[in-house]
């Protein structure tokens, strides 16, 4: 029997209240709350190399890289001690979901909960400050405790513009041609997962959109995570319908599974985890268009989400992630350079943005998206302060972070048109719209990867080492522009990789050819 006499802080669990925040009331101690407890890998294995991922089947994953059953049992005993119920215990997800009263959960994890109002955003939330703690017996077992604080965690990276203000707009059918996506493929046999933290879609909108572009409406399934649901009628509808319409136009033969979760760190981590480990739908590629500045997350949340993305790499699932729409500062407002997370995870294929001009079926100009002067955003990108330079970027020329000198992960990896003034034609809430943002680039790349997976007959999975390892460039190198949004002058486009557009925008057929050659050579 464990004594639980001595307690220790959970590493990286420190939480701070926003600066313009006021306490507006107590949390009812009898109210019920569910929390996600993320556990270490079996045998406390460290994170695997960021360049060489040992693949595992879904069947063997829980034994090799899941949670240790004894660790799960230890958490369950702790829960019983504090009168908490176990709503879920998953070895492969390394997750135990506990449910109990606010008072019992506060006692269990050594914190005090209250209701707050963020006067800067006018949002109210259940919050906490300081670190969480657990008994010493659980010190090495628990990686993260998520869900006690339910403030908004991320932002959708899309920008709506009126048709009158759009200089040019493209249908995704046009973009597939301009970006030389391989012909004769439709993504059949693939599942594209899409993570959403709000909003929803209407089937009538999807029918109207796909009928308008003369593409068969794909099969779409909403999946609930932590009580999230397809709830159209919100501002985030633009994000949800953009993602489905872009990915579905590129790969209409693929099944699309949309994982709806609450916009909290718990919801976001659980959504990615559920999508990655969805043994029923088995997505081979997942698209994420949400994020927030790296240092707005607790370390424990970053660690838990990065581990979920590592799981994706291990299971041969590609995850495309928008790099943000607020330039080199990521909209943090502190005059410092920031990159967006989860795009900054070394296991995410980070997607930056461009401004695109075309004539007929040919690209005439493609530059870094930066419309800051017109208040129309700029692509996110830069150098991480949280994740070290991954092995696949060692020979890429990623600079040190100009402000901290940290040798970090370079963001993004790839790019595509994102400027709303040269945006995507979509249908949202029954209306024809033009939308931009790196939110559109993530599903564009996800659709392309579904086509490539279909052609290769197996998923490309963790794409970055393969992409950076190609001996010849196969993308459209972007060499003009910058993503400076605060006169910091830090990042500009150049030949080869750069911290604005990565390795460049898609040349789909060339990429497929290179990956085919690479796969044949290894075989």
Q: What is the pLDDT along the chain (523 residues), one digit of tens a residue?
A: 577 789 999 999 999 998 889 999 999 999 999 999 999 998 555 444 454 556 777 778 888 889 999 999 999 999 999 999 999 999 999 999 999 999 999 999 999 999 999 998 899 999 999 999 999 999 999 999 999 999 999 999 999 987 667 778 999 999 999 999 999 999 999 999 999 999 999 999 999 999 999 999 999 999 999 999 999 999 999 999 999 999 999 999 999 999 999 999 999 999 999 999 999 999 999 999 999 999 999 999 999 999 999 999 999 999 999 999 999 999 998 989 999 999 999 999 999 999 999 999 999 999 999 999 999 999 999 999 999 999 999 999 999 999 999 999 999 999 999 999 999 999 999 999 999 999 999 999 999 999 999 999 999 999 999 999 998 889 999 999 999 998 888 899 999 999 999 999 999 999 999 999 866 555 4
Rounded distance, CA 266 to CA 151, Å? 10
Same domain assignment for residues 280 and 162: yes
Structural domain ending residue among the three candidates 146, 168, 195? 146
- Indicate if 88 belongs to the active site: no
Task: Work out how many domains the chain is built from and give that number.
Answer: 2
**Count of CB atoms situated within 10 Å of the CB of 3:** 8
Same domain assignment for residues 387 and 355: yes
Rounded distance, CA 324 to CA 305, Å? 17
Strands (E), 197-305: 220-224, 255-260, 285-288, 290-293
Strands (E), 83-210: 85-90, 95-101, 114-118, 123-127, 133-135, 142-146, 155-156, 159-161, 168-170, 191-196
Rounded distance, CA 310 to CA 249, Å? 28
Same domain assignment for residues 107 and 202: no
Dihedral sign (CA 327, 481, 342, 389): negative
Question: Does a structural domain hold residue 44?
Answer: yes
- Of the listed 439, 486, 490, 505, which one is catalytic? 439
Structural domain boundaries enclosing 462: 155-522
Q: Which helix (H) or strand (E) holds 38?
A: strand 32-39
Structural domain ending residue among the three candidates 95, 111, 146? 146
Q: What is the 3-class SS of 479-517, one letter each residue?
A: CCCECCCCCCCCCECCCCCECCCECCECCHHHHHHHHHH
- Indicate if 245 belongs to the active site: no
Same domain assignment for residues 430 and 285: yes
Same domain assignment for residues 92 and 200: no
- Indicate if 439 belongs to the active site: yes
Same domain assignment for residues 83 and 178: no
Instruction: Using the structure block, give the residue that is written with the tokens 């050659």.
Output: 517
Residue 73: partners with Cβ closer than 8 Å, 6 or more residues away: none
Question: Does a structural domain hold residue 214?
Answer: yes
Strands (E), 345-419: 349-359, 362-368, 382-388, 408-411, 414-417
Structural domain ending residue among the three candidates 108, 129, 146? 146
- Of the listed 92, 196, 239, 330, which one is catalytic? 239
Same domain assignment for residues 82 and 171: no
Rounded distance, CA 120 to CA 509, Å? 47
Same domain assignment for residues 354 and 293: yes
Among 409, 390, 378, CA closest to 294: 409
- Of the listed 196, 243, 419, 498, which one is catalytic? 243
- The angle subtended at Cα 440 by Cα 257 and Cα 217, nearest 5°, is 45
Rounded distance, CA 412 to CA 383, Å? 9
Same domain assignment for residues 202 and 120: no
Rounded distance, CA 108 to CA 104, Å? 6
């Amino acid at each position: 029997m464990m004594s639980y006499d001595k307690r220790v802080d959970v590493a990286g669990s420190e939480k701070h209240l926003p600066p313009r925040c006021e306490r507006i009331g107590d949390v009812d101690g009898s109210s019920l709350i569910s929390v996600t407890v993320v556990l270490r890998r079996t045998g406390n294995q460290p994170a695997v190399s960021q360049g060489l991922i040992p693949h595992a089947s879904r069947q063997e994953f829980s034994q090799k890289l899941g949670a240790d059953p004894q660790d799960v049992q230890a958490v369950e005993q702790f829960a019983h001690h504090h009168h908490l119920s176990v709503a879920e215990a998953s070895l492969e997800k390394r997750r135990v979901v506990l449910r109990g009263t606010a008072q019992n959960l506060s006692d269990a994890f050594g914190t005090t909960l209250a209701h707050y109002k963020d006067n800067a955003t006018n949002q109210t939330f259940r919050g906490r400050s300081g670190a969480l703690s657990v008994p010493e017996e659980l010190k090495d077992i628990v990686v993260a405790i998520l869900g006690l604080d339910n403030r908004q965690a991320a932002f959708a990276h899309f920008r709506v513009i009126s048709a009158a203000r759009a200089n040019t707009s493209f249908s995704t059918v046009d973009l597939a041609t301009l970006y030389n996506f391989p012909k004769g493929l439709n993504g059949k046999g693939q599942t594209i997962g899409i993570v959403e933290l709000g909003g929803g879609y209407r089937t009538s909108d999807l029918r109207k959109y796909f009928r308008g572009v003369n593409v068969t409406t794909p099969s779409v399934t909403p999946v609930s995570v932590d009580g999230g649901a397809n709830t159209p009628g919100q501002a985030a509808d633009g994000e949800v319908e953009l993602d489905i319409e872009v990915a579905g136009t590129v790969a209409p033969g693929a099944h699309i599974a949309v994982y709806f979760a609450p916009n909290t760190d718990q919801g976001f981590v659980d959504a990615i985890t559920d999508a990655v480990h969805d043994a029923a739908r088995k997505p081979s590629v997942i698209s994420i268009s949400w994020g927030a500045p790296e240092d707005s997350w607790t370390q424990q949340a970053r660690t838990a989400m990065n581990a979920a993305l590592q799981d994706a790499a291990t299971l041969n699932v590609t995850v495309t992630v928008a790099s943000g729409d607020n330039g080199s500062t990521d909209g943090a407002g502190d005059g410092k350079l920031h990159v967006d997370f989860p795009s900054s995870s070394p296991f995410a294929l980070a997607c930056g943005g461009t401004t695109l001009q075309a004539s007929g079926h040919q690209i005439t100009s493609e530059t870094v998206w930066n419309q800051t002067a017109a208040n129309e955003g700029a692509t996110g990108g830069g150098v991480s302060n949280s994740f070290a330079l991954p092995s696949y970027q060692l020979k890429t020329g990623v600079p040190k972070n100009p402000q901290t000198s940290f040798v970090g992960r370079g963001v993004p990896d790839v790019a595509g048109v994102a400027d709303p003034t040269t945006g995507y034609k979509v249908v949202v809430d029954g209306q024809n719209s033009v939308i931009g943002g790196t939110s559109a680039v993530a599903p564009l790349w996800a659709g392309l990867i579904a086509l490539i997976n279909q052609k290769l007959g197996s998923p490309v999975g963790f794409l970055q080492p393969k992409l950076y390892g190609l001996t010849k460039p196969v993308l459209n190198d972007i060499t003009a522009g910058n993503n400076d949004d605060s006169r910091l002058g830090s990042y500009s486009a150049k030949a080869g990789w750069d911290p604005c557009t990565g390795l460049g925008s898609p040349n789909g057929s060339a990429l497929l050819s290179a990956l085919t050659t690479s796969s044949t050579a290894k075989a």
